[in-house]
Amino acid sequence: MPANKKLLILPGDGIGPEVMNEVRRVIEWMDRRRHVSFDIQEDLVGGAAIDARGMAITPATVERARAVDAVLFGAVGGPQWDSLGFAKRPELAILTLRKELGLFANLRPATVLEPLIGASTLKPEVISGLDLMIVRESTGGIYFGEPRGVDTLPDGSKRGYNTEVYTTHEIERIARVAFDLARKRQRRVCSVEKANVMETGLLWRQTVADLHARDYADVELSHMYADNCAMQLVRNPRQFDVIVSTNLFGDLLSDLASMLTGSLGMLPSATLGVPDSSGRRHALYEPIHGSAPDIAGKGIANPMAQMLSFAMLLRYSFDMEEDAAMIEGACTRVLASGLRTADVMAPGCAKVSTHVMGEAVVRELDKLAA
Ligand code: NAD
């Protein structure tokens, strides 16, 4: 069987390698049962790479990431590297990959799995069946705009400033990602900015509307101010299908939306680059959570966010919808059977380790594939 799907696995630090081990089992299962073979490379990033090589990610690792079809990232960081300062810290691994691979579109699904409905702070009737996707522009806007800095004024006090900048090109390419995704979902996009108080917001709104009229009239488009969107996400989140927003507002709204679903240990994400002429694009998939140093090494981390990130990888990098849905279905069934890691533990359920959870997912995959 030819190994044609090239993957780079970067487990990182803390619980990263622990949860990645459980994804490896799913990959082995796919090889065995679905006859899908991956050409897998693995490398060090974050604190592990700092300890071994003196930097969070080496140029050679970046080149390996550039050469594969998709990168599956774990998590980086930990207290032992906190004193290294801004220029050497483990998190530079992810920032470097985003920059070098041009990963501009961050996709964060907020899906409520029915067995975990009690884990949300919102009422079940508000979030039952929730399935929304936040598309955040992640390489532009105020986090990168110039000028930026802190100046000292003549009276000795200071003035800090950042600049929100967006070009037509940047807005169009992120809006295209949102519209294309919506076509595979419920065909609804809500574009979010602050056109009432920001010039970039006005440009954003106009550009998205123009693109919609030109190329995506089959998708329903609405516009919303970011502050209202934050309220609506808590009041009635099911009104949304795909939300597209700027780096800053998308950052806040995606964190808000992810917490609608309850637990950090359950949440995957994808970051996509620009497609080339053959349609191939760089892509990186990672759980939302960090390296969780407080529980690292104890074998109790929830592996599902990492497994669901792998499901996203299958869906968005390889168009393997059926396999992606199978992994998601297996995770739901394991939770419905009452097995839980500590972070999603509920009365009447059985608390199990990372490893047992991984085994249970593979068992459910076996049943689903039977
Ligand atoms: P964190 O996400 O690592 O942990 C927050 C809390 O959630 C902790 O109590 C942790 O035990 C729990 N948690 C997280 N993932 C879990 C899982 N899969 N199963 C069970 N419980 C889980 O965030 P933090 O504590 O703020 O950061 C820890 C380190 O991770 C820091 O060094 C930070 O810089 C880094 N970090 C890295 C990334 C990344 O690699 N993309 C993202 C966020 C934070």
Q: In sequence order, what are the residues at sequence separation of 6 or more whose Cβ sits closer than 8 angstroms to the Cβ of residue 280?
A: 69
- Stronger pLDDT, 262 or 97, i.e. the higher one: 97
pLDDT tens digits, one per residue of 179-200: 999 999 999 999 999 999 999 9
Hey, what are 362's tokens?
């593979």
Q: What is the mean pLDDT of residues 44-49?
A: 98
- What is the pTM for the complete model shown? 0.92
Residue closest by Cα to atom 20 of ligand 1: 301
293 lines ligand 1 (CB under 6 A): yes
Q: What is the mean pLDDT of residues 99-126?
A: 92
Q: Which of 72, 271, 289, 331 to mutate to test the pocket of ligand 1 (most atoms within 8 A of CB)?
A: 289
Split at pLDDT 50, 70, 90, the class of 3 is: low
Q: Is the dihedral of CA 257, 245, 134, 191 positive or negative?
A: positive
Radius of gyration of the chain (CA): 21
Q: Which of 91, 95, 263, 264 to mutate to test the pocket of ligand 1 (most atoms within 8 A of CB)?
A: 264
Contact predicate 256/243, CB 8 Å: no
User: How many angstroms separate the Cα of 1 from the Cα of each of 5, 38, 258, 310?
Assistant: 12, 10, 39, 21
84 lines ligand 1 (CB under 6 A): no
306 lines ligand 1 (CB under 6 A): no
Overall size of the chain counted in residues: 370
pLDDT tens digits, one per residue of 134-174: 999 999 999 889 999 999 999 999 999 999 999 999 999 99
Give φ, ψ of 127 to 5 degrees: -110, -5
Of 232, 237, 236, 286, give the one whose Cα is nearest residue 264.
286
Split at pLDDT 50, 70, 90, the class of 119 is: confident
SS (H, E, C) 187-231: CEEEEEECCCCCHHHHHHHHHHHHHHHHHCCCCEEEEEEHHHHHH
146 lines ligand 1 (CB under 6 A): no
Helix and strand element counts for the chain (H, E): 12, 14
pLDDT over 80 (residue 86): no
- Stronger pLDDT, 119 or 2, i.e. the higher one: 119
Of 253, 263, 259, 255, give the one whose Cα is nearest residue 225.
253
Average pLDDT score, the chain: 95
The three-state secondary structure class of 357 is helix
pLDDT over 70 (residue 177): yes
Confidence (pLDDT) at 312: 97
Which residues share a beta bridge with 149? Answer: 161
pLDDT over 70 (residue 2): no
pLDDT over 50 (residue 1): no
Hey, what are 276's tokens?
């080339």
Query: What is the full DSSP assignment across 301-333?
Result: ---HHHHHHHHHHHHHHH--HHHHHHHHHHHHH
Distance 110 CA to ligand 1 centre (A): 18
Hey, what are 30's tokens?
């796919």
Give φ, ψ of 5 to 5 degrees: -100, 110
pLDDT tens digits, one per residue of 193-227: 999 999 999 999 999 999 999 999 999 999 999 99
Which ligand 1 atom lies nearest to the CA of residue 301?
A: 19
